[in-house]
A = this chain, B = another copy of it.
Amino acid sequence: MFKPIKNTKVYEHIIEQIQNMIVDGTLKQGDKLPSERDLAESLKVSRASVREALRALEIIGITEVRQGEGNFIKTSFDNCLFEPLSVVFMLNKGKPEDILELRSILEIETVALAAARITEEELKELEELLVQLQDTENEEINVLLDKKFHYKIAQASKNFLIVNVLNVISSLMDTFIKEARGKILNNKDNADILMQQHEEIYLSIKHRNPKAASLAMSKHLQLIYDTLMKKEHL
Contact B60 A164 (CB under 8 A): no
Segment from A34-42, A84-92, A141-149, A189-197 that makes contact with B: A84-92
Within 8 A of B (CB), among A1-43: 4, 6-7, 11-12, 15-16
Asked if A229 lies at the interface with its beta carbon under 8 angstroms from chain B, I say no
Residues A105 and B98 in contact in the complex (CB < 8 Å), given A82-B87, A83-B168, A84-B82? no
Segment from A121-129, A155-163, A203-211 that makes contact with B: A155-163
Q: How many residues on A have C-beta within 8 angstroms of the other chain's C-beta atoms?
A: 44
**A residues apposed to B, CB below 8 Å:** 4, 6-7, 11-12, 15-16, 52, 55-56, 59-60, 78-79, 81-89, 92, 94, 98-99, 101-102, 105-106, 109-110, 113, 159-162, 164-165, 167-168, 171-172
